[in-house]
Amino acid sequence: MASIPLKGDASNAGDIPGLISRGPDFLGSGGAMGKAETAEILETMTLAFVALDEQFRYIYLNAEAERILNLARDQVLNHRLWDRFPGSELTEFGRELQRAMAGRIAIRFETHYAPLDRWFEVNAYPMSGQRLGVFLRDVTETKGIEAALVAAKESAEAANRSKDRFLAVLSHELRTPLSPVLMSVAAMAEDATLPPGIHEELVMIRRNIELETRLIDDLLDLSRIVSGKLLLHTRAVNLNEKVKNVALICREQILEKGIRLHIALEPRIGRVTGDPSRIQQVLWNVLKNAAKFTPEGGEIHVTTRITPEGCAQVVVRDSGIGIAPDKLPSIFDAFDQGDPNITQQFGGLGLGLAISKMLVEMHAGAIRAESEGTGRGATFVITFPPAQETAEEHTPKRPEEAARVGGVRLLIVEDHADTARVLGRIMRQRGYTVRIAATVKEALEILAEPVDVLVSDVGLPDGTGYELMRRAREIRPIMGVAMSGYGMEEDIVKSQEAGFSEHLVKPVDATQIEESIIRLLKGG
């Protein structure tokens, strides 16, 4: 038998312990309740009850004890428990009963009786005359339910881990081939000698690559938020500046549709406390949503204001397709765009608003949607609480500063041939001295010579970028930028622990990498 001590007292057997402890006879000897009444209670109760003397001989067991223990009363009375169940005095069950008898204390625990394959809840009480009363309750069914719940929980957690891993691998596989395309398009778009028509086509290609990336990010963000794995890096954020930045990002899409964008910023709004990138993501999602559902020639009004309570608000109002009253309550549900026809007509996964709501609530804020009905536009109001004392948001150094760090020795480690070739070509054109490796082994051979910055993919054929960075730092001090199709919070932590100062999620372009290099060089 194996027993499990349980917390708490043993009083759940009702008034029977007090009853059996009265008088010299365990069944009572007159008084408030006589022997006959006590015996009747013990015989008809649904708990099994056994009484043992100081030698652990059976002196009484009720009908329920006979039933659940498969014992015959006339065969065990005056026989020792240890004789009936040889070796049981050495089990935890036996030791607990002996402890209760010797210490004259009440003990409650659970035990598994192997011969019957049953679990019992045991409550042992000291009785008068150096006797011990033992109540037993069959809890096998309860234990089975508990085991099933534990198994179901473990199965669900395993399935959730598998889902997270699948999404991460899917993200990696989708992001990796986009990197060389984005790099090439971004580099070509910087060429001022290109004809206007070609430049416009390149801008269109880049915009669609970034849209594809945003869809991938939405899937991962939803998984991270729901599982509680998304962390905020909060600081003081200039909300008006974020609104202006997002308006610039969405400018191409808005101009293409001939939508008139009106922006009115409250100059006194100041700063809010939050994660700058996540606040920008929320504003981006809402403004992109407005542009998506506003027809050509429509209008979008973006305003900031301060509430009477001192909260900062961003209001995005459009003249688009509107929201039916019965759809308003579910507008922030994941994968829900209100109407299947809307999904078919406008596309998208229906995740942007759901993620925005979760992110705003993580900032202790609120977001709501308003609409007078279909065809009458929609308004989204985003509220952030008053700013707290926190660090200021730092504006990243612009890539123009790269002119002052030209000639920096880069080691690019990337096994995706197209990405390595394109990135190497662009960085050489920008004045960097570039060496390229496709494996950890090749990279370590190159690191025998001085290298300023290591730019490495995380997944390599003969190891990982994490392993490479650790071994590189053993050779000499070196700064590192990790590139990966994996962008979960734990992936970023792994990069930091390995010694990388920057973690870029694919697809990346050369300018992003250059910005990271500049931050490292200026900070180093």
Q: 342-381 pLDDT, tens per residue?
A: 544 444 556 888 889 999 999 999 999 999 999 999 999 9
Give pLDDT tens digits for 105-114: 999 998 888 7
Question: Residue 494 carries which side chain, given as an amino acid letter?
Answer: K
- Least confidently predicted of 84-88, 249-253, 345-349: 345-349
For the ranges 269-278, 405-414, 493-502, the one whose mean pLDDT is highest: 493-502
Please state the rounded mean pLDDT for residues 300-309. Answer: 94
Give pLDDT tens digits for 190-203: 777 778 778 778 87
Q: What is the pLDDT of residue 406?
A: 59
Does residue 327 register a pLDDT over 80? Answer: yes
CA distance 362 to 359: 5
Domain with CATH 3.30.450.20 in the chain: 2-138
Given a contact cutoff of 8 angstroms between Cβ atoms, the answer to whether 7 and 109 are in contact is: no
Please state the rounded mean pLDDT for residues 436-440. Answer: 95
Cα of first residue to Cα of last residue in the chain, in angstroms, is 64
Does residue 15 register a pLDDT over 70? Answer: no
- Helices (H) and strands (E) counted in the chain, each on its own, are 19, 20
pLDDT confidence tier of residue 39, bands split at 50, 70 and 90: confident
Q: Does domain 2-138 have CATH number 3.30.450.20?
A: yes
Which CATH code fits 235-389?
Answer: 3.30.565.10
Does residue 252 register a pLDDT over 90? Answer: no
Domain with CATH 3.40.50.2300 in the chain: 399-523
Which residues are CB-neighbours of 487 under 8 A, at least 6 positions away? 171, 217, 220, 505
Q: What is the pLDDT of residue 435?
A: 94
Which CATH code fits 399-523?
Answer: 3.40.50.2300
pLDDT confidence tier of residue 403, bands split at 50, 70 and 90: very low
Q: Which residue has the higher pLDDT, 125 or 5?
A: 125
> In this structure, is the dihedral angle defined by the CA atoms of residues 409, 414, 418 and 423, taken in order, positive or negative?
negative
Does residue 334 register a pLDDT over 70? Answer: yes
Confidence (pTM): 0.49
- Least confidently predicted of 7-11, 104-108, 149-153, 384-388: 7-11
Long-range contacts of 427-435 (CB under 8 A, 24+ apart): 427/510, 427/513, 427/514, 429/187, 430/402, 430/406, 430/510, 430/514, 431/402, 431/403, 431/406, 431/407, 432/406, 432/407, 432/408, 433/407, 433/408, 433/409, 434/410, 435/409, 435/410, 435/411
Does residue 400 register a pLDDT over 60? Answer: no
Nearest to 361 by CA among 217, 228, 167: 228
Domain with CATH 3.30.565.10 in the chain: 235-389
